[in-house]
Amino acid sequence: MSDFTHVDPKLHALFEGPDIDRIRYILRDRYVPYQRAKEVLADVDELVIGERSERPLCALLVGEPGVGKSTLLDVVEKKYPPVTCNETKVILRPVVRINLPGVTEMRALYQRALKALRVPYGEGDRPSTLELNLHDSLSSAGTRVLAMDELHNFFIAGPKTFANNMAALRDLTNTPKVSLVCAGTELARLCIQADPQLLERFDQYEFCAWSESSELRNFLASWEWRLPLRRPSNLAGPIMLPLLLRLSTGHMRRMVRIIKRASKMAILSGDEYVTQDACHAAAQHYARGSLNAATKRGVKTSTNAEETSSTAGSDGDEGDGND
């Protein structure tokens, strides 16, 4: 019997159970640390636990879809969950996380933030009323960081709305004195650059597609350590690393999806390690899914298009972590 030295000892008990337990574990969402993420998270930690500033610093995570920005916001949110103050019984929320898909004006942002804070509001409330409610609620909850994904949508607002949006973001840092940790595409950077005051407060972090590097080798080795397969796959080796890089075009989300599906196939086939053929099949599976989803939307795309959560297939890996 193998001693499974290529797998985290904490996972060895899975080898004694049914295969479905290993498959479920493989498909589960998880965050696998890597150097760039550690550096960013360390800086965000300072925003959460450091002394509150009169002019709080902020952070902007910039990159194409699928390179790991959203996952880091998830990690921050999970690291600082709500806590109840023993003395006052007030629920404190050091980090509040919201998503802004399709949001181009502050009214919707205020509503989503209030919902995340579990604070009631009227659907007919004016934006100014929602703003005051949010400022008071953030202060009462002791919120230090408001994390916002897909900030780039603000860029497509009309000129007047865009200017109002930027002024409202400044007010969020001035009045309740929270740090904004935002993620988005290059358009999010243009949003911040359009406002000199905001630009001065934001540290910017670039997230790029992977290239062949020691950081990628460490990342893949860490992933293999967390895969309960009976045989080594050598994902960080000279054959598998270039293959995964090519099939995913360096995008973290695609790479993780390919690894997960190929690992599932390894168990079902009895191979018990990630093969080149399984990686090719997994990549083709997601390429077909992307094409089919785009066809339903009436959008032309290439099979190289970025996968979205709606095209993850039926094998339970819609959420991948490190996306």
Per-residue pLDDT tens digits for 76-101: 999 999 999 888 888 999 999 999 99
Mean pLDDT for all residues in the chain:
90
Please check whether residues 16 and 57 belong to one and the same domain: no
From CA 82, how far away is CA 27, in angstroms rounded? 27
| Residue listed under structure tokens 């000892």 | 9
The per-residue pLDDT for range 128-180, each reduced to its tens digit, is 999 999 999 999 999 999 999 999 999 999 999 999 999 999 999 999 999 99
pLDDT score recorded for residue 21:
98
What was the pLDDT predicted at 317? 39
Task: Tell me whether strands 83-84 and 91-92 are parallel, antiparallel or unpaired.
Answer: antiparallel
With H, G, I as helix, E, B as strand and everything else as coil, classify residue 146: strand
pLDDT at 323: 54
pLDDT at site 290: 62
* 301 pLDDT tier (thresholds 50, 70, 90): very low
- pLDDT at residue 293 greater than cutoff 70: no
Residue 272: predicted pLDDT: 98
- 234 in a structural domain: yes
The domain boundary, picked from 207, 237, 252, lies at 207
- 55 and 21 assigned to the same domain: no
252 domain residue, yes or no: yes
**CB-CB contact of 26 with 260 (8 Å):** yes
Shared-domain flag, residues 134 and 267 = no
- Do 40 and 23 share a structural domain? no
| Beta-bridge mates of residue 204 | 60
From 176, 207, 238, give the residue that closes a domain: 207
pLDDT at residue 211 is higher than 80 = yes
**Which residues are registered as beta bridge partners of 180?**
146
Q: Which domain holds residue 263?
A: 9-30+226-311
Contact 300, 62 (CB under 8 A): no
Neighbour-count burial for 65-101, b at 16+ CB within 10 Å, e otherwise: ebbbbbbbbbbbbeebeeeeeeeeeeebbbbbbbebe
Decide if 59 is inside a domain. yes
Q: Is residue 214 part of a domain?
A: no
Residues 135 and 24 in one domain: no
| CB neighbour list of residue 133: distance below 8 Å, 6 or more residues apart | 110, 114, 119, 121, 125
Q: How many whole angstroms separate alpha carbon 151 and alpha carbon 62?
A: 10
Q: Which residue has the higher pLDDT, 35 or 322?
A: 35
**What CATH number is attached to the domain comprising 135?**
3.40.50.300
Contact between residue 104 and residue 157 where contact means Cβ atoms under 8 Å apart: yes
Q: How confident is the model at residue 297 (pLDDT cuts 50, 70, 90)?
A: low
Asked if residue 316 belongs to a domain, the reply is no
- The structure tokens listed for 47 are 């925003």
The tally of domains found in the chain comes to 2
Asked which of 126-140, 254-268, 298-312 is least confident by mean pLDDT, the reply is 298-312
Tokens of 228: 């309960």
pLDDT in tens, 225-262: 999 999 999 999 999 999 999 999 999 999 999 999 99
DSSP string, 60-129: EEEE-TTSSHHHHHHHHHHHS--EE-TTT-PEE-SEEEEE-TT--SHHHHHHHHHHHTT----TT--HHH
Q: What's phi and psi for 303, nearest 5 deg?
A: -70, -5
* Residue where a domain stops, chosen among 207, 240, 257: 207
The answer to whether residues 100 and 148 touch, using CB atoms and an 8 Å cutoff, is yes
Mean pLDDT of 256-278: 98
In whole angstroms, give the CA distance from residue 136 to residue 37. 32
Considering the domain architecture, whether residues 201 and 242 belong to the same structural domain is answered as: no
17 and 96 housed in the same domain = no
How would residue 2 be classed by pLDDT, with cut points 50, 70 and 90?
low
What does DSSP say about strands 58-63 and 179-184: parallel, antiparallel, or unpaired? parallel
- Domain shared by 96 and 182, yes or no: yes
**How confident is residue 291, by pLDDT bands cut at 50, 70 and 90?**
low
| Closest-CA residue to 6 (of 261, 280, 272, 243) | 272
Shared domain for 181 and 195, answered yes or no, is yes
DSSP string over 155-183: GGS-HHHHHHHHHHHHHHHHSS-PEEEEE
Q: What is the pLDDT of residue 129?
A: 98
- Identify the H or E element spanning 22: helix 19-27
pLDDT band at 306 (very low <50, low <70, confident <90, very high): very low
The arithmetic mean of pLDDT across residues 266-284, rounded, is: 98
Residue 318 belongs to a domain: no
Residue 307 has pLDDT above 70, yes or no: no
**Sign of the torsion angle spanned by Cα atoms 158, 164, 165, 167:** positive
Same domain for 43 and 25, yes or no, is no
Between 208 and 301, residue with greater pLDDT:
208
Q: Which pLDDT does position 296 carry in this prediction?
A: 56
> Residue 2: inside a domain, yes or no?
no
- Structural tokens at position 157: 């607002």
The reported pTM is 0.84
> Both 126 and 236 in a single domain?
no
Please determine, for residue 303, whether its predicted confidence score (pLDDT) is greater than 50. Answer: no
Is 319 a member of any domain?
A: no
Say yes or no: 276 and 293 in one domain: yes
> With pLDDT > 70 as the criterion, what percentage of the chain qualifies?
89
